[in-house]
Structure 1
Amino acid sequence: MKMFDVIISGGAMAGATLALALDASFGGKLRIAVVESCDFSTQAHPGFDARSIALSDGTVQILQAYQLWDAIQPYATPISSIHISDRGHAGMTDLEANRLGMSALGYVVELADVGQVYHRLLQERAAISLFCPATIQSVERTTDEVQVQLADQSTLRGKLLIAADGNTSTCCHQLGITSEVRDFEQVAVIANVELDQPHQGQAFERFTTSGPLALLPMSRQRMAMAWCVRPDSWAEMLSQDDDTFLAKLQQTFGWRLGKMNRVGTRAAYPLKLTYRSRAVSHRFAIIGNAAQTLHPIAGQGFNLGIRDIATLVEEVRRHPDDVGCYAALSAFQQRRTPDRQKTMIMTSTLVHTFSNAWFPAVVGRNLGLMAIDNLPVLKQPLLTRTLGYVSR
């Protein structure tokens, strides 16, 4: 039986970031176990797959505080501007870094690159023990500790267990913490697209009749594409030959980025909002996609999750003798609830507003986009969420 202070279930983006953040915040004095089911050494982790994510400036500041940004930055592409528009209509708004006196609004990273960085850092930190591949078979809690049994029958004991193992979290399932699920009735088709000219750091969110189409700048004149479509059309989009798919993409997006030359492997992800109303239980906390999985519109998912991480780290630091105590977890839950709810409402409202072909809704959202572009009082809330300057 091995004793730790914190046991983290899940070693992808949320779990690895949390482990490294705790290690940095406690100066390597906290004993941390990371239990990960996927063998990093023999296969690509599904949490570090071909997708790319946008890191807001607020997220970058948190990563800097934990001395993680320097390792990630070489793989990051800065976002100089974000153009938001409604296809075929006049409404649009622009967010530009130079107008805000910023070097970048945020950065785009490929999850596969971050996965390699994190795996190396986890192995370098003496206070972090990586159990991989391993799965948690059972969880037992007493007044003062939590005990988990792994599939190989070994046992880990700790003061706090944290679920960072995605929206189908096994830990949450074992402890009976259910999630509410809302099906957006959309599927995200993702791929990397190569351009014939530099993208100059531009990012785009274009609302189409089928759902939002996002293009994020990447290295080597590439864009990370996430195209949200109805469930009855994604299979055809994956089966089309590259030229046919590119022609459809070019027609839908337009020519603001010039000609799209090549498209990489396409994949599809059903889009659902999953949300656990309780983020804590006795000696147990839930973060990242295990706590809430959002629609990718506006790129809020990991940026919301890292605010979970930063708040949890702050609260457990206030109780170094018992990091899983009720006071720490209660404060974490109380602080995170408003941000989680506001971000979920914002993203869900955007999905429904911009996927509605009803004429009054089309007129209303285009007037809204034009108003946001011209009235600072309306633009500021959008900027606050986009840049990640959100109260925790």
Structure 2
Amino acid sequence: ARAIALAQGTCRELTAIGVWPALAPCVTAITRVEVSDEGHLGKVQIAAGDYHLPALGYVVELHAVGKRLFDLLRQAPGVRLHCPATLEGIRREQAGNVITLNNSVELNAQLVVAADGSRSPLAAQCGIRWRQMDYQQIAVIANISTALPHSGDAFERFAPHGPLALLPISGTHSSLVWCLPAAHEHDIANWDEGQFCQALQQAFGWRLGRITATGERQFYTLRLRTAERHITHRLALVGNAAQTLHPIAGQGFNLGLRDVMTLAETLTQAAAQGEDIGDYAVLSRYQRRRQPDQASTIGITDGLIHLFTNRHLPLVIGRNLGLLAMAHIPSLRDALARKTMGWVAR
């Protein structure tokens, strides 16, 4: 099952709205993060204990957490689920939207939220367009087994062809995200388990001992997609519908959840003041609040890809000096830790 990392800041947000207790039984704590550059000395480690925290974040497997979240949703007051159902069409009117589902049900809404993922069909029907940049990479997603236990360690390793990340999950298993050149997808897809483990061992090293097995492998094309605007008439975009990021540093889901939390706060405040929650002025406040965080996170994520895949010698030297500086200068390491833990303003 695919896994994602929830930053410490995200977990605090989920605690504040009463969701975290339902998720806590199925999470794995990240107690230490190691960032390194393959073939070079640059390396920095961040430990939860240095910040008097039990964990820097937590890893959740999407299938398990999705089931628990749906159980909460079914119990939530004022929520009506139309599931399974898909969007058939949307008719936009001055005072609201009329949504037609594929089971012929019609829904009236003052505001519609596009949370249906990258290249959102709902947003597209409302005239939203996306800017796109192809990284010429694929992500290989799999769960792997290692001879040594991970002990709560997560790894981000930058290699010449793209980064790889290992997140701790149950026992001696870790969740892998390995970014590789798209031009080699056919060859990589045809590797047997032994070939795959051997190539991964060479790229990652022996920090967790021998890589002994890999589960089902899935492949995703990696592109940066950003919506030209995140609001329009009685519509707001959140998460991957608004921006789809490279998986480096695991920022995408955490950024998307900050979208959701900010939109909820903005709508709650508007409703308390007697405003129309779908009014463009209300949605503009949401968009203004989110722009700095979105721009910063996208910029950092995109910048890291270009920095660590560039083999130009001065850049290689510079980035390794930067990692060494972070390892030895607490203020620099703290800045990285704050971003890793999702301690950002929204």
**Over aligned residues, Cα RMSD in angstroms?**
1.3
How does 1:1-392 map onto structure 2 within 5 Å? 50-320=1-271, 321=274, 322-392=276-346
* Offset, 1:220: 1.9
Q: Secondary structure at the match of 2:154?
A: strand
Letter in 1 for 2:90: V
* Offset, 1:130: 1.4
Letter in 2 for 1:149: T
* Offset, 1:186: 0.7
C-alpha contact 2:136 2:183 (8 A) present in aligned 1 = no
Distance 1:115 1:94 in 2: 31
Q: Secondary structure at the match of 1:228?
A: strand
Q: Secondary structure at the match of 2:292?
A: helix
Q: CA offsets per residue over residues 168-201 of structure 1, 9 Å max, x none? A: 2111111111010011111001110112221110
* Offset, 1:246: 0.9
- Give the TM-score normalised by the residue count of structure 2: 0.96
Q: CA offsets per residue over residues 6-56 of structure 1, 9 Å max, x none? A: xxxxxxxxxxxxxxxxxxxxxxxxxxxxxxxxxxxxxxxxxxxx3211000
C-alpha contact 2:119 2:130 (8 A) present in aligned 1 = no
C-alpha contact 1:189 1:234 (8 A) present in aligned 2 = no
Q: Secondary structure at the match of 1:219?
A: coil
* Offset, 1:277: 3.0
Q: Secondary structure at the match of 1:62?
A: helix
* Offset, 1:326: 2.7
Letter in 1 for 2:176: M
C-alpha contact 1:181 1:273 (8 A) present in aligned 2 = yes
Distance 2:8 2:186 in 1: 35
* Offset, 1:125: 2.5
Q: Secondary structure at the match of 1:83?
A: strand
Q: Secondary structure at the match of 2:270?
A: coil
Letter in 2 for 1:69: W
Distance 2:65 2:111 in 1: 26
Q: Secondary structure at the match of 2:182?
A: coil
Q: Secondary structure at the match of 2:208?
A: coil
Letter in 1 for 2:292: P
User: Which stretches in structure 1 are left out of the alignment for 5+ residues?
Assistant: 1-49
Q: CA offsets per residue over residues 77-110 of structure 1, 9 Å max, x none? A: 0000000000110111111101111110000111
Distance 1:334 1:355 in 2: 33
C-alpha contact 1:139 1:174 (8 A) present in aligned 2 = yes
- Give the TM-score normalised by the residue count of structure 1: 0.85
C-alpha contact 2:137 2:181 (8 A) present in aligned 1 = yes
Q: Secondary structure at the match of 1:133?
A: coil
C-alpha contact 1:85 1:206 (8 A) present in aligned 2 = yes
Distance 2:186 2:65 in 1: 29
Distance 1:282 1:65 in 2: 30
Q: Secondary structure at the match of 2:129?
A: coil
Distance 1:147 1:119 in 2: 25
Identity over the aligned pairs, expressed in percent? 44
Distance 1:319 1:344 in 2: 28
C-alpha contact 1:93 1:369 (8 A) present in aligned 2 = yes
* Offset, 1:361: 1.6
Distance 1:170 1:243 in 2: 40
* Offset, 1:126: 4.2
C-alpha contact 1:238 1:267 (8 A) present in aligned 2 = no
* Offset, 1:141: 2.4
Distance 1:59 1:190 in 2: 23
Letter in 1 for 2:116: D
